Structures are given as structure tokens and as C-alpha cells.
Amino acid sequence: MSIVYDAGVLVAADRDDRRTWADHRIRLEEGVIPTTTAPVVAQVSRSARQAQLTRFLRGCEIVAFSPEQAHEVGSLLGKAGTSDVVDAHLVVTAAKTRSTLLAGDPDDLVHLSNQLPTRVPIRQI
């Protein structure tokens, strides 16, 4: 099972949340490389001193926001009547990779996912 992390997961890792780290380690041991997006990393990164965040991200694939995705993300926002580009990009990324999205606050992500032909599975941390 592929997994995509939202900002809430990265914040929990940065705060050294034991459960988040344990779940992450299990995924890595099972050969599952979690994904997150560059915009999510930008939301959470505040200092070069965030050693826990840096260490956590070493085990993740970080997906860029490509120009090809801009229209798809914008279209999803239009359908949902919302404006959070970072959340929409996460949902688009999870949909393309057929991944489960792991989120700290899933409500907005669920709303975006509901606009897709095939919904993205979303779990709360």
C-alpha cells in the first residue's frame, strides 16, 4: 500500500511524536516509501534546525508541483469550491499514485477527494 503524508504528519514527526515515527519506521521496514509533496514540505519547514523533520524526510519521496499538474489542481479546486492549492496537490498526487492519504486534519482533503471520479482513501493520524 502506497501512502502520502500531509503536513500534519510532518509536524508530528518534527515534534518527535513516537507513534508517527513508529508507523513511519514500519512502513520503511516493509519497503513502503512514503510520499509527500514539495509544497507540504514548504508549509512545515521553518528552520534549518528542524533536525527531526530533516531526518524523517530522508525516508520519503518528495514530489514536485509540476506545471502539468497546475490545471488539474486548479480544476479540482474549482469543483470543490475551495482554494487550498497545497491540499489539492496532495489529493491529486495520492489519486495518481493510487495511495492512501494520511492526514492530521482530513476534512478538507475528504471534500476534495469527493470531487474525483475515484475517491482517495484518507486516514487520520
pLDDT digits (tens, 9 = 90+) for 49-106: 999 999 999 999 999 999 999 999 999 999 999 999 999 999 999 999 999 999 999 9
Q: How deeply is 120 buried, as exposed, middle or buried, from its count of CB atoms within 10 A (0-12, 13-18, 19+)?
A: buried
pLDDT confidence of 48, banded at 50, 70, 90? confident
Pick the CATH number of 3-117 from 3.60.70.12, 3.40.50.1010, 2.40.30.60, 3.40.50.1820: 3.40.50.1010
What is the domain partition of the chain in residue ranges?
3-117
**Cell reading at 33:** 516509501
pTM to 2 decimals? Answer: 0.94
pLDDT over threshold 80, residue 46: yes
Encode burial over 35-68: b for 16+ CB neighbours within 10 A, e otherwise. Answer: bbbebbbeebeeeeebebbeebbeebeebebeee
Calculate the average pLDDT of the chain: 96
pLDDT over threshold 90, residue 10: yes
